[in-house]
Chain A
Amino acid sequence: QVQLQEAGPGLVKPSETLSLTCTVSGGSMNSYYWSWIRQPPGKGLEYIGYIHNSGSTNYNPSLKSRVTISVDTSKNQFSLKLRSVTAADTAVYYCARDPWGSSFPWGQGTLVTVSS
């Protein structure tokens, strides 16, 4: 059974870069799309973007200028970088696999607070 786990700093200063890594265990990353999703406290869910194991990406247009998602299949990991963060980027960040199949594993989520 595939499991995902997010890791990264829980506190980031305004204007700096948020960096998170998702480690995939229990299965291969090949032939799947890997996503980042976020949820501000008390609010709804928003897709940030996804990456295929081949390296192709697609990003939320509202975040595209600040986001980079990358993959390292040798480590079974994919990563998120969000630049120039503000308080509006405070959220629980989830990593997940693609949403189309009979299994849709998510990480447990990690809260990232943007504050000085």
Chain B
Amino acid sequence: DVVMTQSPLSLPVTLGQPASISCRSSQSLVYSDGNTYLNWFQQRPGQSPRRLIYKVSNRDSGVPDRFSGSGSGTDFTLKISRVEAEDVGVYYCMQATHWLWTFGQGTKVEIK
């Protein structure tokens, strides 16, 4: 299985300040079609996960532009340019290149 390793696992942030989460995969996530199927999810307290980013850097519909994704191969990053109160929750990276599709452990974002 592809192991997805996130860091940090806990991220206290100040409102209005940037935040960054790293995700590393145990093998390359480049698929044979040339795409990299790396997703980012947000799970607010008590809610279902919601995808924010697909194929490394594409925002899902309705996702604020303060969220951005980058990376390639095995190293990926989710950035929040200015954290807002509604961004509190757990963030997961997930690879959909190799079956078994797998998630990272999650990064808990909280306000300082």
Contact = CB atoms under 8 A, between A and B. Distances in A.
A45 to B, nearest CB: 4
Contacts of A101: 54
A104 B37 contact: no
Contacts of B104: 44
Interface string B49-85: 1110011001011000000000000000000000000
Contacts of B96: 98-100
Q: Is the interface of B mostly helix, strand, loop or mixed?
A: loop
Contacts, number: 50
A45 B48 contact: no
A16 interface: no
A101 B48 CA distance: 19
Interface residues of A, number: 19
Contact of B49 (A47, A100, A106): A106
Interface residues of B, number: 25
Contacts of A58: 99
Nearest to B50: A106
Given A98-B96, A100-B54, A104-B51, 17 more contacts: A44-B104, A45-B92, A45-B94, A46-B103, A47-B102, A58-B99, A99-B39, A99-B51, A99-B94, A100-B37, A100-B55, A100-B96, A102-B58, A104-B39, A106-B48, A107-B48, A109-B48
A27 interface: no
Contacts of B39: 99, 104
A101 B50 CA distance: 14
B48 A44 contact: no
A107 B58 CA distance: 22
Interface in B81-112: 92, 94, 96, 99-106
A61 B100 contact: yes
A104 B61 CA distance: 10
A101 B51 CA distance: 11
B61 A103 contact: yes
A94 interface: yes
A44 B100 contact: no
Given A108-B48, A109-B48, A99 B54 contact: yes
A2 B51 CA distance: 15
